[in-house]
Amino acid sequence: MRTLLVVLTVVFPVFLAAAQAQPQLNLMPMPSMVQVGTGQMPIDRSFSISVTGFHDASLDRGVKRFETQLSRQTGIPFRPKPGPANPTLVIRADHGREQVQKLGEDESYELAITDSGAKLTAPNPLGVLHGLETFLQLVQPSVSGFTVPVISIKDQPRFPWRGLLIDVSRHFIPLDVLKRNLDGMAAVKMNVLHWHLSDDQGFRVESKKFPKLTGMGSEGLYYTQDEIREFIAYAHDRGIRVLPEFDIPGHSRSWFLGYPELASARGPYLLEGGGIDPIMDPTQEATYKFLDKFIAEMARLFPDAYFHIGGDEVDGKQWDANPKIQAFKQAHGMKSNQELQAYFNQRLQKIVAKHHKIMIGWDEILHPDLPKTIVIQSWRGQQSLAMAARQGYSGLLSFGYYLDLMWPAARHYAVDPMAITTTTTDAAATLTVEEKSRILGGEACMWAEWVTPENIDSHIWPRNAAVAERLWSPQEVKDADSMYARLNALSLHLEWLGLTHRSARMRMLHRMAGTEDISALRVLADVVEPVKDYTRWDDSKGPIDFHAPLNRMIDAVYPESDVARHIHDLVQTYVQGGFKDQATEAQIRTYLSAWRDNDAKLHPLLRQSFLLQELTPLSEDLSALGAAGLQALDYLDKSEPLAESWRTEQLALIDQAKTRKADLLLMVVAPVQQLIEASGSPVR
Amino acid sequence: MRTLLVVLTVVFPVFLAAAQAQPQLNLMPMPSMVQVGTGQMPIDRSFSISVTGFHDASLDRGVKRFETQLSRQTGIPFRPKPGPANPTLVIRADHGREQVQKLGEDESYELAITDSGAKLTAPNPLGVLHGLETFLQLVQPSVSGFTVPVISIKDQPRFPWRGLLIDVSRHFIPLDVLKRNLDGMAAVKMNVLHWHLSDDQGFRVESKKFPKLTGMGSEGLYYTQDEIREFIAYAHDRGIRVLPEFDIPGHSRSWFLGYPELASARGPYLLEGGGIDPIMDPTQEATYKFLDKFIAEMARLFPDAYFHIGGDEVDGKQWDANPKIQAFKQAHGMKSNQELQAYFNQRLQKIVAKHHKIMIGWDEILHPDLPKTIVIQSWRGQQSLAMAARQGYSGLLSFGYYLDLMWPAARHYAVDPMAITTTTTDAAATLTVEEKSRILGGEACMWAEWVTPENIDSHIWPRNAAVAERLWSPQEVKDADSMYARLNALSLHLEWLGLTHRSARMRMLHRMAGTEDISALRVLADVVEPVKDYTRWDDSKGPIDFHAPLNRMIDAVYPESDVARHIHDLVQTYVQGGFKDQATEAQIRTYLSAWRDNDAKLHPLLRQSFLLQELTPLSEDLSALGAAGLQALDYLDKSEPLAESWRTEQLALIDQAKTRKADLLLMVVAPVQQLIEASGSPVR
């Protein structure tokens, strides 16, 4: 470990050069050390693998999977070559890995490719799995055939905990969908699936002790224990831990359909309807007896050392309204519901520990009375995390990594677990080395209010890879342009794993249109994004209807528009070049003309389908923007300032084009605005 | 049945009118009787189903599948509604179906949709399954929501045997790929999967009696008996029989790796290498003892009443070279190898019959010494089929339905089992009613020399649906334009079943290019087709290498170019309109300009990848064609005849653009040629 770190420091400038000068190196996450040589190693039908050193059935399956994947990527049907004399790729793990994957197990590997062969070495199979994913990302067609570059890579993660939370309560996500997402996680070297298994809207795990949990709280949509065991084995094969979360004492309405006696208020309870009021009664012993039995069962089912008890967003309304609970608080001298929750968490922590698990929960569970063994998952931010570390608690960052907020990848990418922003004060700057080591990593979060099995892939991918890189790669790797270039390549790469983050959109557009030719609809879909943060819904609309169809444009489009980013970059280039770069102007004009002409093409389609009608004003705005942008360019070409009245008119258009419509934002307003504003400037 | 036929005759004009005036009725195959009413029935969250009359677990699964499929198509998550008071769709089957699906079981159904409800009735669940597929094809988004039209349909198949042969020997096709193709077959009401399970290149079924069949003859790529039973149950649930074929005595090299004693010449045998010489020895009793035991085992595994023994393309070289076999022929007074094969088939037929199966084989097995119970599958043509029928044999047509020949859908569509062509003499015209009834139907054939699990879907779909319609719909349904309009809609519809006939192409283009932006490559891919018939390979190149990668452009493109058909139609319209239709001309110009400019865009990409380099001349041709076409239009606009020298030059270009390159044909040469030729004509 020590040697590797020294090497890292020395070779780092080489890596930076490589990352910047060679955008064709489509690695994501970027390894900690890369030295690019000259030449390539061919990948052809003679490709063969030899596994020396340690191996077991799980590693063998990993190697087989690699071979299948390499075959998919190249179209070459590799045939079994038992004990090849001159293997193309030699794999060597020194020793085995833990039966149950442990936090902090060595995940490092070294990959050395010459023009005649490759060698992948690692202390244990976890590193081998990561190295094989790196190898797959290096494969490219060249003039002579498929190749990988001559290269030397030494790699290890920055943080030991790199997770993705998937909420399967708000919308049930079947195992096949989760499995392809595990494949995606493995491709970007994430190692924890945080499975948010219960919430107000559904309880998703079979309990043999308490069958009414799913019997009444799941609408029949849950995983059996056999399925869960098989799923955990699938994850283990891919170097991924499965962390179960059962969110209590709040977010627990689904428990109360079968077991209303656990709740702080009399039922009956229904899955439908909103509010987060339903909450467990922490003042009765029966609650702890139930939880003891339940956690005993789940602790056996889920082998991971950690057990997530949620603990977030406890709205104490039911506690306040229950005289028995008020009396309990008074009798115990508790001044707030926070103190009552802390009491609950202390009791809970003892139960979790009794069943040999480490308790983990959201920010709210942090309380000095809890032992330092617990882990805090922070949705509040790095300062909160640093504060916990200073108090002796380990922690994870999820603030800034909420994929359901529809942020661009670059915004997630800029969030560092150790720093408030990438440029200003480090939150962790004043921490000791030991305190810093308590910041274990982070987790991207896919909350499922607005996703279904159909569109969840496109809400996770490719943006999740930006979080994965933040958690794996050296802190210094943070150039957003390089990230986007590699993210695009990765997005294609992920297609080979069966993820539907690209293909589902097309199917959904076809559904909305009911016709084969959707080219004009696609032009519009390419430049809009869903509204951001939690603005899709607000309480004035009543509770979210979790059974409503998610088949509108907002559900189909990508969270981030590549076209918008592209036109934005083009206009920057054009403006910075003093409006003289004709090639760039031509590219801008191509976009603008297509938009200007698009509404006429799209209009007949929009009229036909109830799912498209709401897009009419957006389509009109886009055409108006295209026309305005072209006029601005015409004026710029003539180097004559535009009439002020025209500009005023256009800027009014811009203003209204910025407003949300059909819960969508037109993402190409700003660059057109920039052209219009420039057209009025006398400084040319 | 009789009543229905009367109705059919009476209402037929209505159906024709409906099919022609209402192209939005995207039904395929077209039902035998359709009456379209006015109005629609909404499909919304309240949609519910009630199954009255007969039902069993298989039908229940079919209804559940329908509901899942309807949910996918609409994005509406239907929730369980036990015993709805006012069901939207009432399903009623009078009685059950056979445990083992029988040829000729009643498959009829009636579907009546009003604006407030729908009723699907059928004698048995087979008709219900077909009716549910019809219903799914009727669902469309409208201004008010998803709807189905008010309609009345009475439907039944023209032929009882409507099959698809899939060869899994030349390239092994895994069960998940076959299953999605079964889903596709069910969608177009095909009812037989003909499973070509053994051939020279591989033996694909586990035999417990003779384990070396797969142990040495499959390279590990085969189906276990458990998997086969599960697969047959999957097919049965979808109203599809599974017909096994073990091709003997020829096409049997794979048998001889494990059991060389069955062959007519001493081995050793290898799967690699070519030739169809290896053939069973029909003169030794050991062969029949082996086949008796083998067929006994397979007859138990495959419940279908029919058993296909192949029997095609017996090249007698090994017989001629074996003195023992020559002596046997002499001793039995056999004058030809045909007679020897007939002897083999007679022995074989007795074995097959002993195990309670009806023997079916290719044309070559037809011989007067065989009992009339056997079935002939004709790759030779309708006359051969009619002749067999006259002699008392039942038969199936596969001539004209070979999907591997890369014909356009319209060409398959024009082939009728009862007629030589759709316009001239009926092959079956002189047959009696009884003789005609012996023509059971037909089968599309997907021979697998050039397909893999990756591209087999696009080689089967959507063209297979044209064959399905030919075999299901009334003979009079044969308008190619209507077929293509409905085929396009069906192609989209099939996407919801998980078929990859469209998505795989994009992935393959991305693989070839190694880059994200493949728009220029797609322009080229859209206008080429693979070479036709058996011209991709000839014997001068040696034997086909069945382990070679199939990752070239020819493997990625669709067998039929929609764009080529479109531009062809546009030019027809333009020419027939006396070159005056400006809207059509504008559409033609859009295509031509895109082609003209495409080579410059594509060129950098073509240089980068070994898989693209071979496309350079095609890309250049396409650009030249675009330019020439535009010039021709310019001259036509001016109404001046072109210089003869220009025309001569352009026609030389045309000639060379017609030649195959990279095993591809540029399919847009003819329409450009037409424009050039028109530009020289003084008749304007």
Alpha-carbon gap, residue B471 to B159, rounded angstroms: 6
Q: Least CB-CB distance to A516: which of B72, B220, B489?
A: B489
Q: Residue A680: is its pLDDT beyond 80?
A: no
Confidence of residue B11 (pLDDT cuts 50, 70, 90): very low
B220 vs A: CB within 8 A: yes
Which DSSP category does A316 fall into? T
Nearest-neighbour CA in chain A from B63: distance (Å)? 18
Residues of chain B with Cβ-Cβ distance to A220 below 8 Å are 80
DSSP B89: E
Question: Residue B266 CB: number of other CB atoms within 10 A?
Answer: 10
Question: Across the interface, do B611 and A551 touch by the CB < 8 Å criterion?
Answer: no
Residue B142 is nearest to which of A79, A452, A609, comparing CB atoms?
A: A609
Check residues A123 and B21 and name the one with the higher pLDDT: A123
Across chain B, what does the average pLDDT equal? 93
- From residue B370, give the alpha-carbon distance in Å to each of B333, B342, B394, B412: 18, 8, 12, 31
Check if B79 contacts A (Cβ < 8 Å): yes
Yes or no, beta carbons of A608 and B489 under 8 Å apart:
no
CA distance B88 to chain A (A): 19
Contact residues on chain A for B454, CB-CB shorter than 8 A: 72, 75
The CA-atom distances, in angstroms, between A314 and each of A195, A362, B343, B404 are: 20, 11, 85, 64
Closest CA in chain B for residue A610:
B143
Nearest CA in chain B to A613: B143
The answer, for B492 touching chain A at a CB cutoff of 8 Å, is yes
In this complex, do B220 and A80 lie within 8 Å of one another by their Cβ atoms?
yes
Neighbours of B162 (CB within 10 A): 28
Annotated active-site residue A443? The verdict is no
* Of B144, B511, B547, Cβ closest to residue A79: B547
Q: How far apart are CA B370 and CA B387, in angstroms?
A: 15
Determine the pLDDT at residue A301: 98
Per-residue pLDDT at B573: 96
Mean of pLDDT values over A154-168: 98
Q: Coil, strand, or helix at residue B665?
A: strand
Give the mean model confidence (pLDDT) for residues A556-568: 98
Nearest to B475 by CA among B6, B18, B15: B15
Give the Cβ contact number of residue A64 at 10 Å: 12
State whether residue B82 sits within 8 Å of chain A by CB.
Answer: no
Query: pLDDT digit string (tens) for B269-298?
Result: 999 876 778 999 999 999 999 999 999 999
pLDDT (average), residues B189-197: 98
Residue B55 makes CB contacts below 8 A (sequence gap 6+) with B93, B125
pLDDT value of residue B12? 39
Nearest-neighbour CA in chain B from A674: distance (Å): 27
* A356-391 pLDDT tens trace: 999 999 999 999 999 999 999 999 999 999 999 999
Is it the case that residue A2 has pLDDT exceeding 90?
A: no
Instruction: Give the pLDDT band of residue A10 (cuts 50, 70, 90).
Output: very low
Q: Does A45 touch chain B (CB under 8 A)?
A: yes
In chain A, whose CA is at the least distance from the CA of B140? A514
- Residue B553 near residue B530 (C-beta atoms within 8 A): no
Determine which one of B98, B261, B272, B313 is catalytic.
B313
Interface residue of A492, A544, A558, A597 to substitute, partner B, most B CBs within 10 Å: A492
Q: Is the dihedral of CA B574, B580, B583, B585 positive or negative?
A: positive
Question: Residue B137 has what pLDDT?
Answer: 98
Confidence at B5, pLDDT banded by 50, 70, 90: very low
Q: Which of B162, B146, B152 is nearest to B29 (CA)?
A: B162
Residues of chain B contacting residue A452, judged by C-beta atoms under 8 Å apart: 75, 77
pLDDT at residue A8 in the model: 35
User: Considering the entire predicted model, what is its pTM?
Assistant: 0.94
Residue type, B97: R
Residues B490-524 have pLDDT tens digits of: 999 999 999 999 999 999 999 999 999 999 999 99
Distance of alpha carbon A456 from alpha carbon A167, whole angstroms:
10
Percentage above 70 pLDDT, chain A:
95
Q: C-alpha angle B233/B239/B241, rounded to 5°?
A: 65
Pairwise CB contact (< 8 Å): B452 & A77: yes
Q: What is the pLDDT of residue B658?
A: 97
B427 against B174, higher pLDDT: B174
Give the CA dihedral A85, A90, A93, A96, nearest 10 degrees: -60
| Token code pair at residue A660 | 């949300």
Pairwise CB contact (< 8 Å): A514 & B77: no
pLDDT confidence band for B426 (50 / 70 / 90): low
Task: For chain B, state the CA radius of gyration.
Answer: 27
Q: Helix, strand, or coil here: B239?
A: coil
Name chain B contacts of A145, Cβ cutoff 8 Å.
Answer: 610
Q: 260-279 in B: which are within 8 Å (CB) of A?
A: none
* pLDDT surpassing 60 at residue A677: yes
Q: Cβ–Cβ of B550/A496 closer than 8 Å?
A: no
Of A18-32, A190-204, A628-642, B5-19, where does mean pLDDT reach its minimum?
Answer: B5-19
Q: B607 touching A, CB under 8 A?
A: yes
Q: How confident is the model at residue B16 (pLDDT cuts 50, 70, 90)?
A: very low
* Contact between B547 and A45 using a beta-carbon 8 Å cutoff: yes
Instruction: List the single residue in A73, A77, A547 with the smallest CB-CB distance to B547.
Output: A77
**C-alpha B118 chain-centroid distance:** 32
Closest residue, chain B, to A144 (C-alpha): B610
Average pLDDT over residues A312-328: 95
| Distance from C-alpha of B135 to C-alpha of B124, rounded to nearest angstrom | 17
**Tell me, what's the pLDDT at B425?**
59
- Record: contact A143-B77, CB cut-off 8 A: no
Q: Which of B76, B141, B613 sits opposite A610 (nearest CB)?
A: B141
pLDDT at B308 over 50: yes
Contacts of A74 in chain B (CB under 8 A): 511, 549, 551
Residues of B in contact with A514 (CB under 8 A): 140-141
Could A547 and B45 be called an inter-chain contact, meaning their C-beta atoms sit closer than 8 Å? yes
B683: confidence class by pLDDT, cuts 50, 70, 90: very low
- Kindly tell me if the per-residue pLDDT of A5 is higher than 80: no
Indicate if the pLDDT at residue A535 is higher than 70.
yes
Which residue type occupies B530?
A: P
pLDDT bin (cut points 50, 70, 90) of residue B420 is low
Q: How confident is the model at residue B6 (pLDDT cuts 50, 70, 90)?
A: very low
Residue A251 carries which side chain, given as an amino acid letter? H
**Cβ under 8 Å to A: B residues 494-553:** 495-496, 503, 507-508, 510-514, 516, 547-551
Kindly determine whether residue A516 and residue B492, on different chains, have CB atoms separated by under 8 Å: yes
- Least reliable range by pLDDT among A21-30, A502-511, B126-135: A21-30
| pLDDT band for position A16 (cuts 50, 70, 90) | very low
A613 touches chain B (CB under 8 A): yes
DSSP class of residue B223 equals: B
Q: How far is A584 from chain B (nearest CA, A)?
A: 16
Beta strands (DSSP E) in B299-357 are 306-310
Residue pairs between chains A and B whose CB atoms are closer than 8 Å? 107
- Chain A residue with CA closest to B502: the answer is A503
Q: List pLDDT tens digits, range A493-527.
A: 999 999 999 999 999 999 999 999 999 999 999 99
Q: pLDDT value at position B22?
A: 44
Q: B570 with B559: CB under 8 angstroms?
A: no
Instruction: Supply the pLDDT for residue A276.
Output: 73
B397 contacts B454 by C-beta, under 8 angstroms: no
β-partners of residue A34 are A153
Query: What's the rounded mean pLDDT across residues A568-594?
Result: 96
Give pLDDT tens digits for B574-583.
999 999 999 9
Contact B74 A496 (CB under 8 A): no
User: Residue A531 pLDDT > 90, yes or no?
Assistant: yes
pLDDT band, very low/low/confident/very high, at B21 (cuts 50, 70, 90): very low
Taking 50 as the threshold, does the pLDDT of residue B10 lie above it? no
Q: Do B141 and A76 touch (CB under 8 A)?
A: no
Average pLDDT, chain A: 93
- For tokens 């023994």, the residue is B309
**What is the Cα Rg of chain A in Å?**
27
Cα–Cα distance measured from residue B61 to residue B186, given in angstroms and rounded to the nearest whole number: 14
Catalytic, out of A98, A261, A272, A313: A313
What's the pLDDT tens digit per position in B232-264? 999 999 999 999 999 999 999 999 999 999 999
